[in-house]
Copies of this chain bind each other. A is one copy, B any other.
């Protein structure tokens, strides 16, 4: 999988928040096989320096980092946060969130497109957290994005793919753009289903971090993402209404 000219083997992107402990997070990252994790920027105290310790731990894991602008509700906040992230994390990659509604944490597609344009112009490589809206997708590509990350369902809801039809239409419309389902995934079958639609990757966090056993769940998602990708490549059967015997009918003994 190629994202902004970087080749990644793993198609599972993992968030780093809400784990029971840093040790569990580290084990989950290893179990997931991910090569790309999301992080945020939060206020750091000169005395406590929580962020320093956390950042050291992540760096030791040898994974690439995708900083986010989580919590930003305006273009200005998102752009400023992106600049700070570029300096601290030493990467021009940015997961761009411009939140438009506090209940659903859904993207503000207007602010998103504007921020994506500003950041792309300043050399950022933007991973926009967006909806399945085709027209918004077109605008994001026009703004310079070369990856799109539509939601499956609201962040942390564990509902899976709320609008399969819309996600399928997006895939059909942009066959050559890397598409990543970001947010709302609850169980591995959701992730596999996203991959079966032909999506390049899946980004999740809460489904692993808040599972009873996050490390085991990370391994589960790793396998599900691979399963879904392989299935997409292997050209599945179309569903049909009637049954068709698997065992051959010809040659059946007459025992009546």
Contact = CB atoms under 8 A, between A and B. Distances in A.
Interface stretch (A2-10, A35-43, A55-63, A116-124): A35-43
A103 B17 CA distance: 39
Interface in A230-246: 230-231, 233-246
Q: Which of A72, A158, A160, A246 has the most CB of B within 10 A?
A: A246
Which of A107, A216, A241, A249 lies at the interface centre, i.e. has the most chain B CB atoms within 10 A of its CB? A241
Contacts of A27: none
Q: Which of A189, A196, A238 has the most chain B CB within a 10 Å cutoff?
A: A189
Interface in A154-210: 154-160, 162-163, 165-166, 169, 172-173, 186-190, 192-193, 196, 205-207, 209-210
A135 to B, nearest CB: 3
Given A192-B227, A224-B192, A237-B206, A100 B135 contact: yes
Interface residues of A, number: 104
Given A135-B100, A213-B235, A227 B230 contact: no
A3 to B, nearest CB: 20
Contacts of A253: 41-43, 81, 84
Copies of the chain in the assembly: 4
Contacts of A163: 162-163, 166
Interface of A: 15, 17-18, 40-43, 68, 70-72, 74, 76-77, 80-81, 84, 100-101, 103-110, 113, 131, 133-136, 138-139, 153-160, 162-163, 165-166, 169, 172-173, 186-190, 192-193, 196, 205-207, 209-214, 216-217, 219-224, 226-231, 233-253, 255-256
17 contacts: A70-B247, A71-B245, A100-B135, A101-B173, A131-B133, A153-B165, A155-B244, A157-B243, A165-B241, A186-B237, A187-B192, A188-B228, A189-B189, A192-B224, A213-B234, A216-B233, A223-B227
